Structure 1
Amino acid sequence: MSDFNDAAFGAGHDHIFLGSAHEQNERRTWAVIALCSAMMVVEIVGGSLFGSLALVADGLHMSTHAGAMLIAALAYTYARKHATDSRFVFGTGKLGDLAGFTSAIVLAMIALLIGYEAVSRFLSPVPIHFGEAIPIAVVGLLVNLASVWLLGGDHHGHGHAHSHGHGHGNEHGHDDHAHEDDAQKVFTASGVFDVSIFEDGVPPVFRVAPATAGSRLEAAGGAITTVRPDGSRQVFDLVERGGYLESKDHIPEPHAFKAVVRMAGGEYEVEFEEHVHHDEVDHAAIRDHNMRSAYIHVIADAAVSVLAIVGLLLARAFGWLWMDPLAGVIGALVIANWSYGLMRDTGAILLDINPDRRMADNVRQVIEDSGDKVIDLHVWRLGPGHMSAVVSVATSESHRDSRFYHAVLKRFKGLSHVTVEVQPAQAAA
């Protein structure tokens, strides 16, 4: 009889798999739409009043820019409002990827239109009104730079804390780079001590070191008993290593458990929670492609504005009228390249291609390090920063059920939804 159980970790418990900055990005996108819409109205009305066809044309161009932003904004709003809708089996986290894919298609069409217009002007040059065209291109660039600022320059930035109790120590056993919450403190009759898990290039072991100047270690050492979520216990004897105590035996994964420290004539309970290291998370798993698509739109527009300004200035200064369409061709190629990258990445997520192979490898390793066998494993992305895993495990340990493996996989904070099937090793064979 196999044990089949489903559970979700962290924010994924209610199947809400939106990015951590979802609402902030939503507000930013609407702000850019407001700016572009205001600029559009000013240019169209101003161009109509002063008889400037170029100004009206740029106003209409600004309307397509606002329309592209509208795709991203509506995706953010719809995903947020329907995040708890049970009709979406795995939430609305992928709506941003769908919007990003749509925006990539729009970008590709814009690249084609710019390229077509540029080639047409190569074949049939038209007179350029430099007095109108250059100021409009400058204004367009300023609007795009303002849009970039509103969207926020670090749209890919995501922080990942690591508070595992692992030390990265020197020859004295102290942690040169530790944060205060890396070690668990115990207060004994002999003083205050730091209890941590040390694994700097070596198999993980417990270390107990004085936390204050007056704390005294006992020569007899002590012991630490781990109590895991499934109730299993393991005792680690501590020996003196010259200024600190260290466990004789290595600590098996996962490093999420309660630890009862026996020393200085008493027992003291601490708890360790293991998190994935920030460098074990693939960037593709946390990227917000909806914000990326909005950002690419404004960057692409800014790049075209810069190329247009350069082309117009050279055309006016040296009479090189071909510089204007050449700038258009270069701009079209740049936008097409960005469009392809966005289409490739969002399309892969919509087709459930695993964007984080390291996550899958780490999930397999942490289970098989416990002596079990992973029969089947599927890992895919549900939304920015949210991964899902379906794992089938064969084990010869009768006391290990799905709860044990959920506890094992809690170390991976990027895993927001996990389904585990447990089979006896004989049945799997």
Structure 2
Amino acid sequence: MHQHKHERKTFWVVLLTAITMAVEIFYGLSTKSMALLADGIHMGSHVLAIGLSWMAYIFVRKASKSKKFTGNSDKILSLSGYSSGLILLLFAIVIMIEALERIYNPQEIVYKEAILVAIIGLVVNVASAFLLHHDHEHSDHNIRAAYLHVIADALTSLSAILGLTAAMLWDIPFIDTIAAIISSLVIIKWSVGLLKDSGASLLDMEKGEHHDHHHH
């Protein structure tokens, strides 16, 4: 069953992301680093979302064993994917707002430290992406949502690294802001795609599949 495999994978990613979050918040507070704190809090939104995906797999596993549950357990995965997509959308909008605020009141950025934080985030997320990578035919909305969260976070870390490096080298602070806005637009596009697909499956809107075999 690939669902059990997905469950294991999502568990490890939740653990990895949660540890990174805790470390970042701890050091963020102890070194008064805004960059670390902010990244730790962002990580938190992914811990929530991927944690949700992990719980969904546990729920499906329990539901498939239970005689009482007569519903379609794939729906659980779509529901979790949908909820996760909403969190991702919020995440992107928050980044967008933060970036726009920075245009109006530019903050002093401690570049070297911020770049280091972004690199840590990138490494963790790339590792998680490898863990969560799945065959297309075994894909479900749940693993896709977890994967998108990790990729989205990797994208924001990457854009931060590029933006901050450019800002530091050429002393153009707004490059970082533009990078953030671009990556949040990409993430909005992904999350909307995920919401459409998982929403369609929740409403049984699959193309030509409404006479599927789950009903009897």
What letter is aligned with 2:163? G
Secondary structure of the equivalent of 1:51? coil
Give the TM-score normalised by the residue count of structure 1: 0.48
CA distance in 1, matches of 2:103, 2:28: 27
Does residue 108 in structure 1 map to residue 127 in structure 2? no
CA deviation digits over 1:242-285, x for unaligned, max 9? Answer: xxxxxxxxxxxxxxxxxxxxxxxxxxxxxxxxxxxxxxxxxxxx
Which residues of structure 2 form unaligned runs of 5+? none
Secondary structure of the equivalent of 2:71? coil
Give the TM-score normalised by the residue count of structure 2: 0.93
Q: In the alignment, which residue of structure 1 is the partner of 2:28?
A: 47
CA distance in 1, matches of 2:52, 2:3: 15
Does residue 346 in structure 1 map to residue 198 in structure 2? yes
Q: 1:31 aligns with which of 8, 12, 15?
A: 12
Query: In 2, are the aligned partners of 1:155 and 1:291 still within 8 Å (CA)?
Result: no
CA distance in 1, matches of 2:197, 2:42: 27
> Which one scores higher on RCO, CA 8 angstroms, separation ≥ 6?
2
Q: In the alignment, which residue of structure 2 is the partner of 1:324?
A: 176
Question: If each structure's helix is expressed as a fraction of its own residues, which one has the higher value?
Answer: 2
CA distance in 1, matches of 2:33, 2:163: 21
What letter is aligned with 2:91? I
Using the TM superposition, give the Cα deviation of residue 418 of structure 1 relative to its aligned residue in structure 2, in angstroms: 6.8
CA distance in 2, matches of 1:78, 1:309: 38
Question: If each structure's strand is expressed as a fraction of its own residues, which one has the higher value?
Answer: 1
Q: In the alignment, which residue of structure 2 is the partner of 1:71?
A: 52
Q: Choose 1 or 2 for highest CA Rg.
A: 1
Which residues of structure 1 form unaligned runs of 5+? 1-19, 159-286, 361-377, 380-386, 389-416, 420-429
Task: Report the RMSD for the aligned CA atoms in angstroms.
Answer: 1.7
Q: 2:136 aligns with which of 145, 152, 156?
A: 156
Q: In the alignment, which residue of structure 1 is the partner of 2:107?
A: 126
CA deviation digits over 1:87-114, x for unaligned, max 9? Answer: 4323422100000000111111111111
Secondary structure of the equivalent of 1:126? coil
CA deviation digits over 1:347-401, x for unaligned, max 9? Answer: 001101124x3xx6xxxxxxxxxxxxxxxxx42xxxxxxx42xxxxxxxxxxxxx
Secondary structure of the equivalent of 1:88? coil
CA distance in 2, matches of 1:311, 1:293: 26
Query: What is the correspondence of 1:187-226 to structure 2 with a 5 Å cutoff?
Result: none
Q: In the alignment, which residue of structure 2 is the partner of 1:142?
A: 123
| Runs of 4+ displaced beyond 6 Å | none
Does residue 309 in structure 1 map to residue 125 in structure 2? no
What letter is aligned with 2:56? A
